[in-house]
Amino acid sequence: MISIEQPTIPLNPDVFKLLRDMLYEHCGVWLDEQSKFFVEGRLQETLRRHRFGSFKDLYYFLKYDARRAEEFATVIDLLTIHETYFFREDHQLHALYREILPELMKRRQDRTLRIWSAGCSTGEEVYSVAMLLASQPGYGDWRVEISGSDISQRVLEVARRGVYPASAFRTTPPDVRKRFFHQEGEGFRVDDSIKRMVNFFSFNLADVDRAAVLPKMDVILCRNVIIYFDSAVKKRVVEMFSNRLRPGGYLLLGHSESLMSISTAFSLRHLRHDIVYQKEEGISAAA
């Protein structure tokens, strides 16, 4: 059978600006002018699925339709990158395991630790942290809360299911996979002992007011997420992270991300395994 390629529906520059501004207002993701052709290509299937004849139809759907929240999540999925794997940027996780966690465990007199992976995608980072904690000497009698959040319900469903393909283990030591995973079909399922250590919830990082309900954290990981934000949203999000961290708590960003000209609430810590951000001790926060 000969397949007939469907024609590309063009994205008018003025409609691109409407969609771009709507996305920015909704979740803080900023798309520059060079992103127009990327958006045009990524959303073609969305237009065809709804039988829209133009991008303006999609814009009005996202603005007024009762189902707009669900479709907005799909659009965000298509326009942001969720590619991740276990123990990604592992030297930073080595710093977490060998330096940050032992320091926090000496400091926390109430024997509680709270860790938040903000923008956790399909959950590999959250489970990586849980496996590191489960391997930490003296962990057993601590109360540990490890949370992962993302704006996308689709990736959170994958995270909660906890079954991953072999490609997710590209930097995972074989003994770690053998200890913490069980083969399920062609994939591998996270052991229940690790699943019980974590929880996942939906959260829009641009909705900084909602963060007030979150408890104070010892570590926040937000790696390769704020690159999607402009400087104004970055400042709001990083200020929110500072407010949610205990004094002396740690913020771990992606290696292409920096707080330069963004925040003075953190100092740069040069650890043996990596460089990370630490909230200044003098900045108070309720426990």
Active-site amino acid positions: 42, 150
Per the listing, tokens 């009698």 go with 141
Determine which helix (DSSP H) or strand (DSSP E) holds 127, and give its type and residue range.
helix 124-134
Residue that the structure tokens 């319900």 belong to: 153
Q: What is the DSSP letter of 96?
A: I
d(CA 203, CA 211): 9
10 class by beta-carbon count within 10 Å (0-12 exposed, 13-18 middle, 19+ buried): exposed
d(CA 266, CA 238): 10
Q: Are 57 and 50 in contact (CB under 8 A)?
A: yes
- Put the strands of the sheet holding 275-279 in their side by side order: 198-202, 143-150, 112-118, 217-222, 245-253, 275-279, 266-270
Kindly give, in sequence order, each residue whose CB lies less than 8 Å from that of residue 86, ignoring residues fewer than 6 positions away: 124, 127, 128, 164, 168, 169, 171, 172
Question: Which residues are 128's β-sheet partners?
Answer: none
Tokens standing for residue 162: 């906890």
Question: Rounded CA gap, 259 and 253, in Å?
Answer: 9
* Torsions phi, psi for 178 (to 5 deg): -65, -35
Round to whole Å and give the CA distance between 22 and 55.
13
